[in-house]
Amino acid sequence: MAAEKWVYMVTAQTPTNIAVIKYWGKRDEVRILPVNDSISVTLDPDHLCTVTTVAVSPSFDRDRMWLNGKEISLSGSRYQNCLREIRSRGGDVEDKEKGVKIEKKDWERLNLHIASHNNFPTAAGLASSAAGFACLVFSLAKLMNVEEDPSQLSAIARQGSGSACRSLFGGFVKWKMGSKDDGSDSVAVQLADEKHWDDLVIIIAVVSSRQKETSSTSGMRESVETSLLLQHRAKEVVPKRIVQMEEAIKNRDFASFTQLSCKDSNQFHAVCLDTSPPIFYMNDTSHRIISLVEKWNRSEGTPQVAYTFDAGPNAVLIARNRKVAVQLLQGLLYYFPPKPDTDMKSYVVGDNSILKEAGLDGENSVENLQPPPEIRDNIGSQDQKGEVSYFICTRPGRGPVVLPDQTQALLDPETGLPK
């Protein structure tokens, strides 16, 4: 390479995911190897995603990263492990038009600029690290002409954050825990793509929370150290559930899917309670939402809505189809109305075309709503204003993609600095 001034870059978009059989507990903290398999649904990146631009240039004097516009340190071991692994797999890259010629061996000494942005508030506690590390690894793999398939890339993203490995695929994804000490077989695989079960509608209730939650990383460390229930879960419960969940997904068996998702979420939170000192991720609002869904499912005789909660109070609700989702949203808005003067379009975000179907796009207000009679009482009083910050309506979605449109890049093509 001569002393060129070029900046070569790639922009990619990666989805987030929600586990329906949870990952909770590591057998190796450094390589991030789990104590059990897990299964997730990838969420539509149109509504929840990370966009990352990665750039390389001989003029960069060090690796740098900006997250949501603010420069952050790359010195942590998780970033360092991902960068080292991906660099070692870089291939030859040539772009004659730009005068770019990079050889495999150059990746070790060329510096990178990385800018990443989430299209949802990081503070909402919506697994931003999963989409973030997946996007970092995916975009660098494209930049560096890495030949590895998505499963092999997932093993690198895993070293940034465990749940990130499942964001390398769309649809329904399994993270196989693997058995090797080096972690090379602890990878994600796709069970079915997003079109396989496209009736499903996902509504996320972003629940307001006053307290700072224990991070997943330290929470699961404490559970591994102190919870006997975690040992039992990993050894006896999850292996059977994984087989059943794979069957349920394959057959689009919503009743089994719901039973398994809800039970697994509840067991994960039971493990948190079994941890010393106990960890509380759900709050009263979360519990009220569970009651609402349980009551509805029971009264219908067959499950209509599945729920699952990660390391925070937010509810992820999966409705069997659009019609059920509309009723669910009406019920949720009845019990958790927006604060006065809140625009409905900022209270229900994502695919908010659902508001029209719920009769709430025009003059109609939530006061006129009537939720299904089966769930009308017993979940607390109706007026729970402010307990839900907002709702996101989404669906199962695609895996990572490169965004070829240069206008979507987060770095300036001339300087390689944030736009």
Query: Site residues (CB under 6 A) for ligand DP6?
Result: 19, 22-24, 32, 38, 127, 129, 161-163, 216-217, 310-311
Least distance to ligand DP6, CB of residue 149, Å? 22
Task: Report the C-alpha gap between 178 and 14 in whole angstroms.
Answer: 24
Q: Of 32 and 143, which CB lies nearer to ligand DP6 in the complex structure? A: 32
**DSSP letter at 212?**
P
Least distance to ligand DP6, CB of residue 103, Å? 34
Q: Of 216 and 285, which CB lies nearer to ligand DP6 in the complex structure? A: 216
Which has the closest alpha carbon to 11: 106, 95, 115?
Answer: 115
Q: Of 10 and 43, which CB lies nearer to ligand DP6 in the complex structure? A: 43
Which has the closest alpha carbon to 206: 96, 79, 312, 55?
Answer: 312
Least distance to ligand DP6, CB of residue 241, Å? 13
Pairing of strands 33-34, 201-207: unpaired
**DSSP letter at 418?**
B
User: Which residue of this chain has its Cβ atom nearest to ligand DP6 in the complex?
Assistant: 162
244 contacts 291 by C-beta, under 8 angstroms: no
Least distance to ligand DP6, CB of residue 415, Å? 32
Enclosing H/E stretch for 25: none
Task: Report the C-alpha gap between 213 and 283 in whole angstroms.
Answer: 11
Which has the closest alpha carbon to 112: 189, 57, 48?
Answer: 57
Q: Of 258 and 314, which CB lies nearer to ligand DP6 in the complex structure? A: 314
Q: Of 93 and 270, which CB lies nearer to ligand DP6 in the complex structure? A: 270
Q: Of 194 and 310, which CB lies nearer to ligand DP6 in the complex structure? A: 310
Q: Of 51 and 220, which CB lies nearer to ligand DP6 in the complex structure? A: 220
Q: What is the three-class DSSP state of 393?
A: strand
Within 13 Å and on the Cβ side, how many CA atoms surround 313? 22
Which has the closest alpha carbon to 129: 46, 68, 207?
Answer: 68
Least distance to ligand DP6, CB of residue 267, Å? 12
